Every structure is written in structure tokens, then in C-alpha cells.
Chain A
């Protein structure tokens, strides 16, 4: 049996390791949150506590930039609901993260003030914060949060959309453009994520999103990603790409078939797991490498199942993204007695992300289109777990993340579409 001193030493060693690894630190902060003492809170000048969009689970977060340019959106907690060892500190206008158990372990971070986006409203009076969210380089917009699965029987158990009864059926295109302008004014955004729920149509929301995508591509040099449900016919996937979408997500959420049906009853019945996988496989032949992603929520199924999902998806050319289930985000599932949760330990998460990074690298999937997302750990950040933070990798990440790199990425993506897409008929 180890002595108390030895346990403290071990703990100190672990925290030193976490604070030195941006990937680990991001995971820890996302899972455990951070405390912001009142004295520091005053210095933040509105740096957190903004009213974000429930769909993206960003209410009351503080956006931090960790070493290596790693963005993270950290839930601020008072420590009562979810105890956290991490606290934000401020000395001479320099912010650091410190750990209660180890006063010597600190990590210098940058705190980003919330975008003006959250203080503005659309032409129809809807706060922009209700149709989307901005966290650093990550801009997600939901032109409509209607979804036929929002009834009790069909709702995805983790989904918090419309719980307050506020839904919007279709934001004017000009408002979406204005949202992007506002968000880009104070953040280095090079990709906008458009999300749409199940609209009850066979096209997976393509027709609904088309005017938004067309307008965005017309007015901005920016990449567009769409988060939707798979359409019934693969022709709509072709059209999704043709209309200007650079990356697409069909989020299966749960790889295990039985749990998928239980957690996502609407999509399981109306779309079906097989169609999710078929659509993902087909999309991977249409979109550029790394342009097709699929969320697998960690913590809602056994890790082995998530791991199998990672393997299956990467083999078909799909990039898995692993959001970690956090009960204080979206809808709190802890009250659902029939849903078993599998909260992962840090070691398990490290192993999972290492596997993800290796699988993605083995398939040579590009990681460029899924980067700088503050609210999930991206596959690119898996390099921190796989000890692949070599000079060459760092240089690649830096170049692709630079202004020139991001601009080049947009131009090449548009060029690829121009070359590959041919309009064949109008009937």
C-alpha cells in the first residue's frame, strides 16, 4: 500500500503530465470544467457566461486557447455540481490554469472574449445565439432547429434542442450571411457548420440548405460543412457536394446497433443504421479525404463498441469525431433509467484517441477539414496522445492553420468541386 505522500507525488506527476499535453488538458477541461474565482471573473470582462445555443451545448462556457493553438470551450462550474481540480488564475493580465493539488503545475492559456455574435439578433428578432454558436474558429449555425424527432418518443435522448419550446422554422438567408459576417469580425473562422434536423423529406434537408450554401459560397471564401441526416438516395449526396458543401457529417452517434435504437429511436426507425453506414461510405467517395465525418459519442456505449466504430468508419474513409458525453450538456440523460452510461476514465480516453489517430493515419485520411473545433476533441488533436507531435507534424499543422493555409484550403476545395462536378441533366 502506497503512502499518502507517494499518492500525492503520483497525483502531482499526473497533473504535470496533463498540463504539459494540450490534448489531455483539453479532454480534462471539457469533462471536468473549470472554476473561475470571483477575482478572476472580474478580469475576464465578459469572457464567459454568455448565452449560447443549447443545440451545441455551449451555454456558460469560457473559450481558451491552450498551448499549440488548441482551442477548447470549457464549462465553467462552481464546483458543486461537478467537482473540478482546475481553476483559472490571472496574474498581471496573464491567464493560467492551476491545479488545486499541485500549486507548481500551471499552464499559460489565452482567454477569448465571446463573439459579438451572442449580443445581436436577426432581422426577425431571434438572438443569433439561438441559431448558432461561435467558439473561436468554430462557427455552427442552424437555419432551422425544427426536427420531426423532437417528440418524446422519437427524440434522441441526449438532444436538448427545443426543450425550452423555442424553435425557428427557417432563418432568412440574409440573416445567416450577417451571422457569418459578425462571427468572422472577431474570430478566425474558415469553416461554417450548417446543421439541420430531420425535416420529414427524403432529401436529408439538402433542398432546405441549398439557398444558404449558395449564398455563403457567393459572399465568402469559406468552407461549408453540413451536419444532417442521410438522404434516402445517394443522388442527394452528390448534390450536397455539388451545391458547395465541402464536408458532411451524418452522425450515427452510437455504433452499437441495439443502443443506437434505444438512444436515437427516431433516426433508427426512419433512417436506420444501415442507411447511415451506406450513406457515409458513399459520401466518402464523393467528398475530399477527411471531408466525411461521423460523431460517435463516447460514454453512451461500451468503449469497445466505440473502438469498433472507429475501425469500421475509418476503413470506409470516414473520419470519426468523438464528442464525450457530458450530462451537463444538452439534455441530462442521468434521469433515463433505461440508458446505461459508460463514463470513460482519462486513461481510456487516451487509449481511444490514440486508436483513433492511428486508424486515421493508417488510412491516410486528411485531418485538415476537422480542426480547431473547441467543443470536441478533434482527430487532429489525437497527435498529442499518439506522441506524434514531431517537428514535421507541427509544421504541417501550423502551415495549414495559418491564414495562407486556410485560404489555400478553401480555394483548393472549390477547385476540386469545379473539376469533379458535372451537371448532367435538368428534368
Chain B
């Protein structure tokens, strides 16, 4: 019988009150500051609407960063404040939410849900690891590459959620001790790094890519975008560097203490046996996935990524592979809402000139060239993402960065990539990304090890960014 247990906070009631209402108190302080700032006259060079937007931006950026409100709610608050303060009309403001990027994200989430619900993703993962995990080192690397590959077609969070129980069962089957097993650490670090690195390669790896593209498109009145294959092309060298770094770290830092993976393979065999044969639903989802990714790659520009995603979803429903209840349960609706609001806020910053004014104030007199500026902003994004959601970093940083790029004559697509790619450098803290948080729950992580290896990855990621900005992007004609 389950029993509830309770803890009684015996501290003085005033302290308890303050600690329990800390969130509300901070929100109260923020709102007070917000209204105080709003009451001030706009600074020189900024319109009243621009000043209002900047106040809303400051409020929402703080809320995104501190997570005092859920990200989605902060986004909705931004959408509501813009027309309420008379910055833009309600019709115009709410229209930003109808960005095609929001629908692309929705489609990608639904596809991911279809793979999870039918068990296709779990089966693929199990087969992959069983096929390539013949020795302890190969088993670790197969988990790393499985997650990297999986995160190119699914959200990295979804991949981590899918692979985590498989890796946990493998660790149990191999009797790996949490406190001392290098093999166990290697498996979970492999999962963690694989998801993060692989997720950087395509726009399907997470919501931040589509969000950044959406903000770029809105800022340029849909004259500029980054295509499905272009995104991967721009990110490729960085991903290769990080994959190599990951393999090296796994190889050097986590030499397995076991000699055989036979028991793990038996466990995976048993897992596959329990799954039974491939069901027609799995087959349909697999087929639709392949066709969808193919269409994104070859016809994404012509038909639009979002349109392809939504038609694929319709096909899944028409073929009976997916039910609406599955979609309701597995899609992260909060993220969809968050992206819509973030795009709205970013666009409003652009329209009212607030983004430009802000970047002028921040970067006025900074004596670096265009590439140096991109490196500087990329560094800001990389540092910020260790402490907050990567999508929130994009929402906060990209609109002013785009204004700055416009002012300094930097290619806007390059600036977009310079912001979005480093937001995935979340190799240190569990709060940085849900993948990291999940990996930490395994019990195999030790802060010292995470810090040591995470810093190495961050340094190499940073070097890879330099390679992109100074060498690769000019070479492939981005600017």
C-alpha cells in the first residue's frame, strides 16, 4: 500500500512565507520594475512603442531566464502585452503566432510522437545497439552514435527519453555499479553527448533551429531563410569536430572495466523478443518518416518544411498509424506555444526598432570586425545556454543580434547560425537541457567528471565555431 509522507517546515513562519512565495515576490518585483520603467520617457533614438517593446522584452527575457513562469506562459504574456500597451495592433500581434515555423515544429513533434507511440524508435534503437555493441567499447560508442543519429530526425529530448531505459537496462544487465563503473558512465555520457551533438546537425534536433529560422524570416519579411539541407551544411564541420571529440573522450576517460557485453546483448535480445515482430503501424510510420525527411531535403524550399510536415501527419492519421489521443499525450504543446510567442516578441522588437537600439547601446564602440562580433555573440549564447533553456536563449538573443547584423552589414543568416548553434553547447549543468537532466538522474554522473569532460567539449565546440565563422561559412558561400 502506498503511503504519503510529509515534511513539516519548522522555520519561523515569516521565513517560510517568504521562501514559499519567493516566486510570487520576484514576479511582483519584476512587474513593479516593469511598470516603473514603462512610465519613464523613452530614451533618445527610441519611439514610445520601441520603449514599450524593450520593457516587455526585458520582462520576458528575465522570466525566460529565471523560469519564474513556464516558458509558454511567458510567451503568451508577451503576446498579450504587445497589443495591450498599444505597441502593435492585436490583429498584427496575434498573426505572428501563425508563423509557419510554429507549424513545422508541431509537425516535427507529431512525427516524433508517432515513432514513440508505435515503438518504432525503441525498436530501431535496440536493433542498432545490439548490432554494433559487440564489445564494451563498441557498445558505448554505439549508444553515442545511436543518439547522435536519432537526434538528427527526432527532437534530442525525445531520443534521450527513448534511449534512457534501454541504456539503464544494459547497465543493470552488466551489473555496473553507479559509484564506480566507467562503463556505466561511458554509456550515459554517450547518450547525453550523442543527443546534444546530433541535435545540432538538423532543424529536427530541437525547437531552437526552427525558432531561429522563424525569427529570421519574420525579421526579413520572409525574404531570407535557412533551408533544411543548408542548416545541416552550415553546422556539419562543427558536428564532426564534436563527434570526434566525443569519441575521444569516451575512449580515453571511460575505459570499460568489463570484458564482455554478452549479458547486455542477451538483455537486448530479450527486449526485442518482447516487442514481437514489426507491426504494420511501425512500418507505416517508418515509411512516412523516410518520405518526409526525403521531401524536406529535396523539396523543402519548394513546398515548405511545415507543409510537408503537416501533410505527413495527415497521411499518418489517414493510414491509421496515429490517433489524436497519442498526439495529445506526446506533443509538447507548451513548447509550441513558447515558440509562437517568442517569434512574436522577436518580430515586435524588429518592427519597433527596439532591437536595433538595444544592440547599438550594447555594441557601440566594440572594436571587432563582423566575424569577431559573431564570435562574441556566439560566446554569449554558449554561456547563457548553460543556465537556461536553449530556445529561451534564441528568443532573447537573436532579435537584437539580427538588428546588429543588419547595422554592421553582417549576413543575417550567418548571424542566425552564430546564435543558434552555440545554444546547444549544454555540456555542463543539468539545468541546461532536459537531456542533461535525464542523464544526471542515472546516478552514474559525478560533478567533477562532468566538469572536466564538459569543459573539453565546450572548448572544442568553441574552436569549431571559429572554424565555421572564419573558414567554413565563407567557403560554402554563406557570406
Contact = CB atoms under 8 A, between A and B. Distances in A.
Interface stretch (A26-34, A39-47, A138-146, A238-246): A238-246
B8 A420 contact: yes
Contact of A238 (B2, B6, B13, B20): B6
Contacts of B3: 426-427
Interface in B1-29: 2-10, 13, 16-17, 20
Say whether chain A's binding surface is mostly helix, strand, loop, or mixed.
helix
Contacts of A426: 2-5
Interface string A386-427: 000000000000000000000000000000100111111111
Contacts of B16: 419-420
A220 B4 CA distance: 24
Nearest to B2: A426
Contacts, number: 52
Nearest to A239: B6
Interface centre among B2, B5, B9, B16 (most CB of A within 10 A): B5
B16 to A, nearest CB: 5
A169 interface: no
B5 A424 contact: yes
A241 B8 contact: yes
Tier of interface size on chain B: 10 to 19
Contact of A242 (B2, B6, B17, B20): B6
Given A238-B7, A424-B7, A419 B20 contact: yes
A421 B5 contact: no
B9 A422 contact: yes
Contacts of B4: 239, 242, 423, 426
Contact of B9 (A419, A425, A427): A419
Top 8 A-B pairs ranked by shortest CB distance?
Answer: A242-B6, A420-B9, A238-B6, A424-B7, A422-B7, A419-B16, A425-B5, A419-B20
A404 B5 CA distance: 34
Nearest to A241: B8
B17 A238 contact: no
Interface in A283-315: 285-286
A165 interface: no
Nearest to B1: A207
A125 interface: no
Interface string A210-251: 000000000000000000000000010011011000000000
Contacts of A235: 5-6
B6 A419 contact: no
Contacts of A423: 4-7
Contact of A422 (B2, B6, B13, B17): B6
Interface in B278-305: none
Interface string A265-288: 000000000000000000001100
13 contacts: A238-B8, A241-B6, A286-B8, A419-B9, A419-B20, A420-B8, A421-B7, A422-B7, A423-B6, A424-B6, A427-B2, A427-B3, A427-B5
Contacts of B6: 235, 238-239, 241-242, 421-424
Nearest to B21: A419
Contacts of A416: 13
Contacts of A421: 6-9
A241 B4 CA distance: 13
Contacts of A427: 2-3, 5
Tier of interface size on chain A: 10 to 19
A425 B4 CA distance: 6
A235 B5 CA distance: 7
Nearest to A210: B4
B71 to A, nearest CB: 25
A242 B7 CA distance: 9
A367 B178 CA distance: 54
Contacts of B20: 419
A231 to B, nearest CB: 13
Contacts of B2: 426-427
Contacts of A238: 5-8
A413 to B, nearest CB: 12
A286 to B, nearest CB: 5
Given A235-B5, A416-B13, 14 more contacts: A238-B7, A239-B6, A241-B6, A241-B8, A242-B4, A285-B10, A286-B8, A286-B10, A421-B6, A422-B8, A423-B7, A424-B6, A426-B3, A427-B5
A235 to B, nearest CB: 7
Contacts of A422: 6-9
A423 B20 CA distance: 14
A80 to B, nearest CB: 53
A49 to B, nearest CB: 45
Interface in B124-143: none
A419 B12 CA distance: 11
A309 B17 CA distance: 35
A122 to B, nearest CB: 28
Nearest to B16: A419
B434 to A, nearest CB: 22
Contacts of A241: 6, 8
Contacts of B5: 235, 238-239, 423-427
A20 to B, nearest CB: 40
Nearest to A237: B8
Contacts of A425: 5
A316 to B, nearest CB: 15
A177 B17 CA distance: 32
A352 to B, nearest CB: 32
Interface centre among A241, A286, A420, A421 (most CB of B within 10 A): A420
B333 to A, nearest CB: 26
B33 to A, nearest CB: 26
Interface string B187-205: 0000000000000000000
A358 B2 CA distance: 45
Nearest to A415: B17
Nearest to A416: B13
Contacts of B7: 238, 421-424
Contacts of B8: 238, 241-242, 285-286, 420-422
A121 to B, nearest CB: 34
Nearest to B10: A285
B11 to A, nearest CB: 9
A175 B8 CA distance: 31
A420 B7 CA distance: 8
B20 to A, nearest CB: 5
A285 B12 CA distance: 11
A285 B16 CA distance: 15
Contacts of B10: 285-286, 420
Interface in B308-334: none
A424 B7 CA distance: 6
